[in-house]
Structure 1
């Protein structure tokens, strides 16, 4: 019985590793699978139907308009995120990557949020950003001030933020390890869900007065 323990431990580790691997975007089964909304004569792969390879062109792997600045004035936080995922760029289907262009007004904030399906690698193109992420329990903060050309990584699923700490505009690009990384903005999710989370739950969870929770829910 004792001799069998190493085998069982090895099997358990391999099973656990496989469960982790299967949680990420699956590996492609062909060179590409350009997504298409027309389901006629299409193959269903990774949530999207695929074009027939014979009809694919170079334009399916091309995306433009990232040179157009985002409208930071439309967001009271002073930031604009243009996420280029598989829904906007069909050629990304099954490739396990996406991109975000983030514009910041002076002192603009990309608020605390998380990507449940992707690690984020951020590079500062212009300006100076204060960035950081918080680990799971015991909730340690890792933070850094980034200047032009600096790179920072936010591990998958962890809450993170980017804040422009200067009086000038800032610009950053992020690569994400999923064709559809998802985004959960913490404040919006907690205080602006539809329907709203029970008031008593939020009062007890955040140790706030009812009037404060009422106010926060109205903001989101």
Structure 2
């Protein structure tokens, strides 16, 4: 059967598009820090890091959480408390890609610089005044944009977005308590608090590494590693 030139070009184009689409396919983003592969077929099977319940046994309580109206305990060195509502609190969130947190602050309370490796965060201020911000990543195309600080002072009713994976913070600059709620684009967004991870790792990072990284004297690193780094999550 003869194929005219136009049809041949169309077929070639379709084949190219299909090949390109297949080549660009990739695994979904992981929702746990790591997953060690095993060859044992009887080993535990997880979906997004959780077992799946028999659908016939699912109830309304699997999609329910109560108590987010209760303030978190802010009597700690940071003066803040994050109350999460993720897949741990609501099992029905598994595979749905969303979660929520409440953040309480005393005056000058701080939710310290941290990242969510698996989620973008959108924050809504209910009460108080917050100074918030995030730091951009390294930019190989324009070094002038490296680690740019983006900040804003927020009042009740204001909304701010923190892009996925970027270091960010919230600080209560008012003289009254503050309350904020955040939605996160993951059922298990993860939290890496920068100071805790760098200076409070277990076991400790070799001080020589941190001395060179931060370009300070070893005694400063030793002092920082000896501190108790409080977790407000």
Instruction: State TM-score, norm by structure 2.
Output: 0.78
Instruction: State TM-score, norm by structure 1.
Output: 0.82
Cα-Cα RMSD: 2.4
Alignment of 1:76-115 (within 5 A): 76-115=77-116
Q: Distance in 1 between matches of 2:69 and 2:104?
A: 11
Q: Distance in 2 between matches of 1:100 and 1:202?
A: 32
Query: Between Structure 1 and Structure 2, how many residues are aligned?
Result: 197
Q: Which has the larger radius of gyration?
A: 2
- Structure 1 outlier segments of 4+, above 4 Å: 7-16
Alignment-derived partner of residue 204 in structure 1: 212
Deviation for aligned residue 1:45? 2.4
**Which of 175, 186, 189 is residue 181 of structure 1 equivalent to?**
189
Deviation for aligned residue 1:8? 7.8
- Encode CA deviations 1:55-104: one digit per residue, 9 max, x unaligned: 2111211101111110101x201000011111121111110011111000
Alignment-derived partner of residue 133 in structure 1: 134
- Encode CA deviations 1:3-40: one digit per residue, 9 max, x unaligned: 99xx9899668745x44x72266xxxxxxxxxxxxxxx
Hey, which of these two has a bigger chunk of strand by percent?
1
- Flag the structure with more relative contact order, 1 or 2, with Cα contacts below 8 A and sequence separation at least 6: 2
Deviation for aligned residue 1:121? 0.6
Q: Distance in 2 between matches of 1:8 and 1:212?
A: 58
Gaps of 5+ in 2: 1-8, 32-43, 139-145
Gaps of 5+ in 1: 26-41
Q: Distance in 2 between matches of 1:150 and 1:211?
A: 43
